[in-house]
Structure 1
Amino acid sequence: MGFQITAEVRVHIDRVFTKFAKDQGDPYSEIEFVERTSKITKADGSVVSQTEQVLVPVFWSQVAVDIMAQKYFRKAGVPARLKKKMENGVPEWLCPSEEDLETLSGLPESERMGGETDSRQVFHRLAGCWTYWGWKSKSFDNEDQARSYYQEMCYMLA
């Protein structure tokens, strides 16, 4: 799996930022997201890289937008349709995702794969991975603690 647990560590998460997200399940319910453009230029003004319609929190600086778009977005190879890869003992919401070949086959080939454009995709990918590792290492007492950790991390990343 790529990681090894050498000592048992339990994590207890008290919700701070997502107190009201538990029922609706949206850690971003209090955050407004807007489309921005990331544009990196050389000193001579020539464009090195440009990404349109980057969805980020409204309060982010242009530098934060540029770093997200240029360093953290997966640029290609992201399936347009995903399905859960179910694992015994792992809650469905926490199971890793994989491409849904059946659904993808119904899309035009040019629309089957793409890149990330929404910062929430990155937050989900990172917080989901960390939460999954915590679950697999039995770091959470229960599913509610795992979900609290995931949602708090998503909020803090935003």
Structure 2
Amino acid sequence: MKFERRFTTAGKDPYASLEFRFASSEIKNPDGTVVFRAENIEVPVQFSQVATDIMAQKYFRKAGVPAQLKTVEESAVPSWLWRSVPDEAALAKLPEEERFSGESSAKQVFNRLAGTWTYWGWKGGYFSDEEDARTYYDEMCYMLAAQMAAPNSPQWFNTGMHWAYGIDGPSQGHHYVDYKTGKLTRSASAYEHPQPHACFIQSVSDDLVNEGGIMDLWVR
């Protein structure tokens, strides 16, 4: 696939023409007590308070983001697109309480979404060449930040945790189509091939990912 730039410039940061600001977000009980508060979170300057609250309260990863990362080399993948994992040696040099934290910038979210989609696209042979892959990544980062494009909620929650931070967990019973075989495959982990879909309803007591749940419909 070929891609052309509309909003970004090759060789420059995809956010170069956008302004960002630092903001705060909080949730209060009816009695005024604060149950959630985030300070100094970075968001695009045009984000409303509602958009800022949704990003901070719902879409930021709250824990498990390593303070130090290293890339995993893959010979068939451009180096700028290599996925990241915790740098255990570097983390060991930090105080324990500083080794892991949560996301604090919308750029982290945009980067992990666009980066994962580009990584998957590259692995699946979607791009004509590396320039097209980079164009797609930059343009997608820009469009997410400018609120010109947005995926559904589970993408914000789940996509990019494995690619950007090396976060993973046990399989939750969901499936994906293997790009190599074209076959429906049960995911072996929570985030390498995450569950990015939403709004599956069978009944009042439905279950999303466990045996007998909504995802079982896909393989019956």
Which amino acid is the alignment partner of residue 6 of structure 2? V
Q: Once the 2 structures are TM-superposed, how far is the Cα of residue 115 of structure 1 from its aligned partner?
A: 0.5
Distance (whole Å) between structure 1 residues aligned to residue 29 and residue 50 of structure 2: 15
The one of 32, 45, 55 equivalent to 2:32 is 45
- 1:110, CA displacement in angstroms? 1.2
1:121 aligns with 2:111: no
Pairs within 5 Å for 1:9-24: 11-18=1-8, 20=9, 22-24=10-12
1:53 corresponds to which letter in structure 2?
N
Aligned twin of 1:36: 23
Amino acid at match of 2:7: F
C-alpha displacement at 1:126, in angstroms? 0.6
1:98-113 pair list within 5 angstroms: 98-113=85-100
Residues 1-39 of structure 1: per-residue CA shift (max 9 Å, x gap): xxxxxxxxxx32110010x2x123x00001111110011
What is the CA RMSD across the aligned residues, in angstroms? 1.1
Q: Cα distance, 1:44 vs. partner?
A: 3.7
Query: Which of residues 84, 90, 95 in structure 2 aligns to 1:97?
Result: 84
Structure 1: 4+ residue segments shifted above 4 A: none
State the 1:69 CA deviation: 0.5
State the AA in 2 paired with 1:87: E
Deviation at 1:46, TM superposition (A): 2.9
Kindly provide the amino acid, as one letter, of the partner of residue 39 in structure 2: E
Count of residues paired in the alignment: 145
Aligned amino acid, residue 117 of structure 1: S
Determine the C-alpha separation between the residues in 2 that align with 1:121 and 1:92.
Answer: 18
Partner residue, 2:130: 143
Q: 1:67-82 to 2 correspondence within 5 Å?
A: 67-82=54-69
Distance (whole Å) between structure 1 residues aligned to residue 30 and residue 140 of structure 2: 36
Cα distance in 1 for partners of 2:29, 2:46 equals 26
With 122-131 and 39-48 compared, the bigger mean Cα shift is at: 39-48
Amino acid at match of 1:39: E
Residues 66-93 of structure 1: per-residue CA shift (max 9 Å, x gap): 0001111100000001111111200111
Q: Specify the code of the residue in structure 2 equivalent to 1:127.
A: A
The answer for unaligned runs of 5 or more in structure 2 is 146-220
One-letter identity of the residue aligned with 1:107: L
Larger radius of gyration: 2
Aligned to 1:54: 41
